[in-house]
Amino acid sequence: MTDIFTILKERLPNIQKNIPLKVHTTFKIGGSAEYFLTASKKDDVVSAIQLAKKIKLPIFVFGGGSNLLVADKGIRGLVIKIENSADIYVKDNDMIVHAGVPMKALVEVSIRNSLAGLEWAGGLPGTFGGAIRGNAGAFGGEMKDAIFSVEALDNRLVLRQLNHTQCQFAYRTSIFKKKNWIILSATVRLKKGNKKQLQDIAKSHIAYRQEKHPLEYSNAGSVFKNIPVKGLAPKYQKEFADKIKQDPFLIVPAAWFIIGAGLAGKKIGGAQISKKHSNYIVNTGKATAKDILLLIQTVKKKVKQKYGINLEMEVQYVK
């Protein structure tokens, strides 16, 4: 009987076995992918998923690995990493972009073409597809503000073209995240802007991240979603009145509740709540996924006890 790897290898020549995923995530944590494929073309992504579905293999697709915690035991089935550093087509105020393009490259190309609407994402890690999936945002901007349409593969392997409304964007989510659809490419619609001003904004955001975020350690970005002010009890709205931000609606950063619960700097194994930014958990060198999860559970429990708030994870845990 032909084994699964042989079947995969016949159709997917670049497939590999037992590849450590910690080298493909910004946390630098996680076990191995049973089968691993890097795909830079849309057709290759679709073909791989079709084959895996046909032979009933579990499938996990990711991009830059910047918002991801992989289990210590790794991931069964086929893991596909979508990457493409150059597939950006600019026409007038529109940019048609492959899902695997790094956000860094996308922001740079938009500014080079004097297009405004993505400069807020200066310093944002990860890939374009991942940013759309989680409706990434910072400094008052969100991906939804720029997205015109998205090409995605649904769970029945039907290629779909979704307009902005059909994407169902909400705070740090979208239809792609809710339904686990695979983003292949998208069109962003921007406006003409002043190149120098756009460069200055992007550079200031990069500098802010370098100063305020613990980028000297491996991390996966903000661990928890921020807290909408309208959902807070009046006494906490008053207590945190000077911490309220517009991002994109009125929120209190989750970090303040973590600090309030006395957890800044708390460490479990090799994982630590950053003293620099308490909504970051950092890998101090040899953290395991178990360490991270225990720390996350501790934070959720303590914040719930003190403030009655259920913190929601922004980082995706995959096992």
So what's the pLDDT on residue 248?
Answer: 81
If pLDDT is split at 50, 70 and 90, which confidence band does 1 have?
Answer: very low
Six token digits for residue 46? 């679709």
Averaged pLDDT of the chain: 96
Q: Give the pLDDT of residue 247.
A: 82
Res 231: pLDDT: 87
Residues catalogued as catalytic: 172, 222, 314
ω into residue 248 within 30 of 0, thus cis? yes
Q: What is the pLDDT of residue 2?
A: 63
Q: 254-282, pLDDT tens digit by residue? A: 999 999 999 999 999 999 999 999 999 99
pLDDT tens track for 141-168: 999 999 999 999 999 999 999 999 999 9
Of the candidates 79, 84, 109, the residue with the CA atom closest to the CA atom of residue 99: 84
* Ordered domains of the chain (ranges, CATH): 4-82 (3.30.43.10), 88-198 (3.30.465.10), 214-318 (3.90.78.10)
